[in-house]
Amino acid sequence: MGIEGNIKDFPLIDVLNLLSFGNKTGVLVITGKKNQEKISGEVYFIEGKIVDAICENKKGEEAFYSIFLIDEGNFVFKSQNINLTTRIQKSFDNLLLEAIRKADEIKVLYSKIPDLSTVLETNPNIEASEIRLSSDEWQVLNLFKEKKTIKDAIKLSPFSEFETLKAIYLLLSFNLLTKAEELEIDISKIIPKRVITPVKDALSILGLSQPRNICEKVLFKIDGSKSLQDIANELKLSHKEILNCFIKLLKETKIIANISLEKIKLIEKITKEE
C-alpha cells in the first residue's frame, strides 16, 4: 500500500504512527524544507518498527531526529522489502518521545543563539585548553576554524541539529565562539572630503598640478559629495584599489570622512588580507 500527501495536511507524527500501527514494511520518503532550507530524508520500516533513517550526511537516530524537524513538504511511503543493517534500536514509542523532546528543546535553543545566518569564528583570545569540553563539543568548535554561518555548521556537523545547536550555545557561553567581523564595507556610504591646502588647490584649479598616480586621481575626484563608489565607478577601480587609496589618503591627512575608527581598522584589515 502506498501513502502520500503533504505534511501540512497530514503531520509527520501522524504518518509515522499510522505506519507503525499498521505494521508496515517499506520506506517513507520525505522531501521538504526546514527553516526555509531544502531537505530530504528516508525512514525505513520493518513490520511497523523504524530500523534506520538517512538524512543528508546523517544516518540512524540522528538522521531521524533531523527528519522529524521538517516543517513543510511532501511525503510518500513505498511498500517494499527492506534488507539493511538495523541502525535504530529504540522502540517506536521511545524514539518518537525522544524526537518530540529534542524538537521542543531545539525551539528553546533557537531563542538563545544568534540567527542561523550569523557568521561565527573561534575566539583567538581564549585559551580553549583551559576549559573542559567533550569530544563532541571539540568537533563542533573545530567546524568554526574557518569562519562560517551557524546554518552551514549544522549541515557539516556529524551530529544531529539538536546536539550541534546545544554545543554551539555552550561554546558561545564560554566565549570560545564569537561573531565574526563583517568583512564587507559599503563604499557607497563613505563620502570623503578634502582637507583644504590652499597652494595645492590653487595649482590644481589652474591646471598646473596633475595627478601622478591612482591615489592622486582619487583625491582629485573627491569633492565632498561623491561616495567612494561613485569615484571607483568613474575611475574604473576595484573595491580593493579604492579602499587602499582611501586609507592612504586618510593617513596622509589629505581627506576626512564620515566613518568610525572601528570601520577604518576594519578597512585596514580587509586591504591587508585581500
- Statement: residue 176 has pLDDT above 80: yes
Average pLDDT over residues 114-131: 78
Region for 35 from its dihedrals, namely left if φ exceeds 0, alpha if ψ lies in -120 to 50, beta otherwise: left
Query: Of the candidates 108, 135, 155, which is a domain's last residue?
Result: 108
Shared domain check, 12 and 45: yes
Same domain, 60 and 19: yes
What CATH code is carried by the domain that includes residue 255? 1.10.10
Confidence of residue 273 (pLDDT cuts 50, 70, 90): low
The predicted structure's pLDDT at residue 77: 95
150 grid coordinates: 551557524
Answer yes or no: do 193 and 170 share one domain.
no
180-192: b (≥16 Cβ within 10 Å) or e: eeeeebebeebbb
C-alpha to C-alpha distance for 66 and 69, rounded to whole angstroms = 5
Query: Within a 10 A sphere around the Cβ of 214, how many other Cβ atoms?
Result: 15
Q: Count Cβ atoms below 10 Å from residue 168 Cβ, excluding itself.
A: 26
The answer, yes or no, to whether residue 201 has pLDDT greater than 70, is: no
Using DSSP's 3-state secondary structure scheme, residue 228 falls into helix
Q: How far apart are CA 205 and CA 18, in angstroms?
A: 84
**In 133-164, which positions are buried (b, 16+ CB within 10 angstroms) versus exposed (e)?**
beeebeebbebbeeebbbbbbbeebebbbbbb
Give strand pairing partners of 134: none
Residues spanned by the domain of 22: 3-108
Which grid cell is 163?
546536539
Percent of the chain with pLDDT over 70: 89
The C-alpha atoms of residue 1 and residue 24 are separated, in whole angstroms, by 9
φ, ψ (nearest 5 deg) of residue 73: 140, -165
Q: Are residues 208 and 170 in the same domain?
A: no
Residue 193 above 70 pLDDT?
Answer: yes
**Around Cβ 224, how many Cβ atoms within 10 Å?**
10
pLDDT at 207: 46
Strand (E) or helix (H) holding 49: strand 49-55
Tens digits of residue pLDDT in 20-55: 999 999 999 999 887 777 889 999 999 999 999 998
pTM of the entire predicted model: 0.57
Does position 256 have pLDDT exceeding 60, yes or no? Answer: yes
CA atoms within 13 A on the CB side of 108: 9
**Domain end position, chosen among 125, 148, 179:** 179
Among residues 132, 150, 179, which one ends one of the domains? 179
pLDDT at 130: 66
Look at 130 and 235; give whichever has higher pLDDT. 235
Number of structural domains (the chain) is 3
Give tens-digit pLDDT for 96-118: 999 999 889 988 998 999 888 78
Least confident among 41-55, 138-152, 190-204, 212-226: 190-204
Residues 132 and 165 in one domain: yes
Averaged over 177-187, what is the pLDDT? 74
**Host H or E run for residue 127:** none
Output the pLDDT for position 88.
Answer: 95
Amino acid 261: pLDDT? 76
